[in-house]
A and B are shown apart, each in its own frame.
Chain A
Amino acid sequence: AQTVTQSQPEMSVQEAETVTLSCTYDTSESDYYLFWYKQPPSRQMILVIRQEAYKQQNATENRFSVNFQKAAKSFSLKISDSQLGDAAMYFCAYSPTGNQFYFGTGTSLTVIP
């Protein structure tokens, strides 16, 4: 069974600063996909960034980047130049196919003005 662990239930960051959210996962597969999703109070799930396991290069989307360590089964999210709108619950997710997802327990991010 796949498990996704987010060890930080809550994190806070000063506006304009950088924060890193941690995620580890467990799988016996060699090919899979990893995602970070953001869930604001509206509860709408918003894709932040995704990474294919076969790609060694870390994915980057504007202020969001990941540190993918396949051997360590680690997939952390770095948010640079944090903005007030980044405040939300962040979920790390594992997918064997890129479609169905197994989510971590989430990290609640607070951005301090």
Chain B
Amino acid sequence: GAVVSQHPSRVICKSGTSVKIECRSLDFQATTMFWYRQFPKQSLMLMATSNEGSKATYEQGVEKDKFLINHASLTLSTLTVTSAHPEDSSFYICSASKGGWYGYTFGSGTRLTVV
């Protein structure tokens, strides 16, 4: 149990366009989901906490208008990178929590390349 699916695994988009990344909990309801960003050969940096039915909480320095997060159901959170630029190219990973002290599971990540 506790499987998290992330889609797409890879995406290439043109500069100025928007791209949506989906994170789904397949076999459990995720009260909270998290979005991370990882630059090549670097660590994962927490971007935001996504709570079902409420606004996301962004970490300091993360542009909420650029990285739109929607957690419309207990099994789906989406991250939309708006007006993407080459510097937004990165590896984005989500994780989902069952709530309480159950730990959580990471998705397999999305490689975004903006050209």
Measured CB to CB, the residues of A under 8 A from B are 42-45, 47, 50, 91, 98-106
Q: Is the CB of B43 within 8 A of A106?
A: yes
Q: For A44, what are the chain B residues with a Cβ–Cβ distance below 8 Å?
A: 106, 108-109
* Any A CB within 8 A of the CB of B45: yes
Q: Is the interface of B mostly helix, strand, loop or mixed?
A: strand
Please measure, in the bound complex, the distance between the C-alpha atom of A44 and the C-alpha atom of B43, giving whole angstroms: 13
Please measure, in the bound complex, the distance between the C-alpha atom of A44 and the C-alpha atom of B110, giving whole angstroms: 11
* Any A CB within 8 A of the CB of B32: yes
Q: Is the CB of A45 within 8 A of B93?
A: yes
Q: Is the CB of A101 within 8 A of B109?
A: no
Q: Considering only CB atoms and an 8 Å cut-off, how many residues of chain B contact the other chain?
A: 20
19 contacts between A and B (CB under 8 A): A42-B108, A43-B38, A43-B93, A44-B108, A45-B44, A45-B95, A45-B106, A91-B43, A91-B44, A98-B103, A99-B34, A99-B97, A100-B49, A101-B34, A101-B36, A101-B44, A101-B46, A102-B46, A105-B43
Q: For A99, what are the chain B residues with a Cβ–Cβ distance below 8 Å?
A: 32, 34, 97, 103-104
Q: Is the interface of A mostly helix, strand, loop or mixed?
A: loop
CB distance from A4 to the nearest CB of B (A): 8
CB distance from A106 to the nearest CB of B (A): 5
Q: For B91, what are the chain A residues with a Cβ–Cβ distance below 8 Å?
A: 43
* Any A CB within 8 A of the CB of B54: no
- Set A45, A47, A101, A105: member contacting B42, Cβ < 8 A: A105
Q: For B45, what are the chain A residues with a Cβ–Cβ distance below 8 Å?
A: 103
CB distance from B115 to the nearest CB of A (A): 21
Q: Which interface residue of A91, A98, A105 has the most chain B CB atoms within 10 A?
A: A98
Q: Is the CB of A50 within 8 A of B109?
A: no
Q: What 0/1 readout, one digit per residue, does chain B (45-89) give for beta carbons within 8 Å of chain A?
A: 110010000000000000000000000000000000000000000
Q: Is the CB of B43 within 8 A of A47?
A: no
CB distance from B58 to the nearest CB of A (A): 12
